[in-house]
Amino acid sequence: MKVYNKKEKPIDMGIAPDAEFPLIYAEKGLEQAYLVGPGQDDLAVDLQGAFNAVPAKAHYNGPELVAVKQALDNHHFQYENDGANGITVLGKSVHAMNAPAGTNAVLRLAIALDDVFPSKPLDFLGKLFKEDATGTNVLGNIEDKQSGHLTVNISSLKITPTETRMQLDMRIPVTVNRDDLIEKLKAAVAPYDLHYEAFDYLAPLYVPTDSHLVKTLMATYQDLTGDDTQPQISGGATYARTMHNCVAYGAMLPGTPDFMHQVNENWELQSMFKAMAIYAEAIKRLCVDDK
């Protein structure tokens, strides 16, 4: 899409069949980065995970295991024994865009480790960030009416003698200035000897609900389905954000079984045909009736 946008003239409007009906009019900005600080000689941890997923498990088989287990018990964090020399802290995995609905196992282990092996980077996780997936403890209340609250996910933690490194995923409300937010984050982590390293960024998408595009698409969907569900916001990323004045519009219909990215991925023909009819009518209204 980057190549297309460079070589072709900008589109007037567009739809991306990359989500669910009725449509998504706002997609939060996506910031992925690392927080990096000094290492520790008395502790080695390597908890790997994907940026976009709240980690469901965190394994530990290092020193002071009894003390770490006691710290977990003190915080009422659930874990399992891995034989005599290790444990697995248990959480609940959800997509990073819904991080507050999950339970972050990496954070829970880090909070316990901070009780036993205090360091400034661990203090950041254990005493400031804690389990707050909205980032309020670190950044204050960040939200807007258009797209809701900031979400923050710490998805990995690696501690070596030379470095502490953690992965950070933030879904930024559409009207929040990214540069201001990053500067605020840098100032918040600096007292913990952490610095910010950018990894990836996707700008937000926002097409007002009173725009001609959204009103036409919504009217088409409602006329053909009788469903009065209102347009949605998302912390995820669709192809719509690669274009100006473009929104994700279907193709999944409410109530349709979702086998996306699963074994035996499939789509019901009846649902496909209904989506095709909606697209045909929407394109007619936008490109023919408006002429």
State how many domains the chain has: 2
Query: Using alpha carbons only, what angle is made at residue 235 by residues 232 and 236, rounded to the nearest 5 degrees?
Result: 100
Q: Please indicate, yes or no, whether residues 147 and 223 belong to a single structural domain of this protein.
A: no
CATH number at residue 14: 3.40.630.10
Q: Please indicate, yes or no, whether residues 224 and 193 belong to a single structural domain of this protein.
A: no
Q: Please indicate, yes or no, whether residues 141 and 188 belong to a single structural domain of this protein.
A: yes
Domain region containing 126: 29-202
Q: Please indicate, yes or no, whether residues 176 and 136 belong to a single structural domain of this protein.
A: yes
CATH number at residue 61: 3.30.70.360
Which among 151, 179, 202 is the end of a domain?
A: 202
Q: Please indicate, yes or no, whether residues 17 and 120 belong to a single structural domain of this protein.
A: no
Contact in structure between 181 and 166 (CB atoms under 8 Å): no
Q: Please indicate, yes or no, whether residues 178 and 64 belong to a single structural domain of this protein.
A: yes
Q: Please indicate, yes or no, whether residues 101 and 188 belong to a single structural domain of this protein.
A: yes
**Which pLDDT score is estimated for 261?**
67
**Which pLDDT score is estimated for 263?**
79
The pairing of strands 24-27 and 232-234 is parallel
22-to-145, 218, 226, 259 alpha-carbon distances in Å: 20, 7, 11, 19
Q: Please indicate, yes or no, whether residues 185 and 47 belong to a single structural domain of this protein.
A: yes
User: Over the chain (291 residues), what is each successive 10-residue block's mean pLDDT?
Assistant: 90 94 96 97 94 95 96 98 92 94 97 96 96 97 95 97 97 96 98 98 95 97 96 91 94 86 85 96 92 64
Burial of 61 (0-12, 13-18, 19+ CB in 10 A): middle
Which among 202, 220, 253 is the end of a domain?
A: 202
Q: Please indicate, yes or no, whether residues 161 and 33 belong to a single structural domain of this protein.
A: yes
Q: Please indicate, yes or no, whether residues 61 and 170 belong to a single structural domain of this protein.
A: yes
Which among 152, 183, 202 is the end of a domain?
A: 202
pTM of the predicted model as reported, rounded to 2 decimal places: 0.86
Torsion over CA: 110, 38, 197, 46 (sign): negative
Q: Please indicate, yes or no, whether residues 115 and 181 belong to a single structural domain of this protein.
A: yes
**Which pLDDT score is estimated for 291?**
64
Structure-token pair, residue 276: 């095709």
Burial of 9 (0-12, 13-18, 19+ CB in 10 A): exposed
Q: Please indicate, yes or no, whether residues 38 and 181 belong to a single structural domain of this protein.
A: yes
- Residues found in the chain: 291
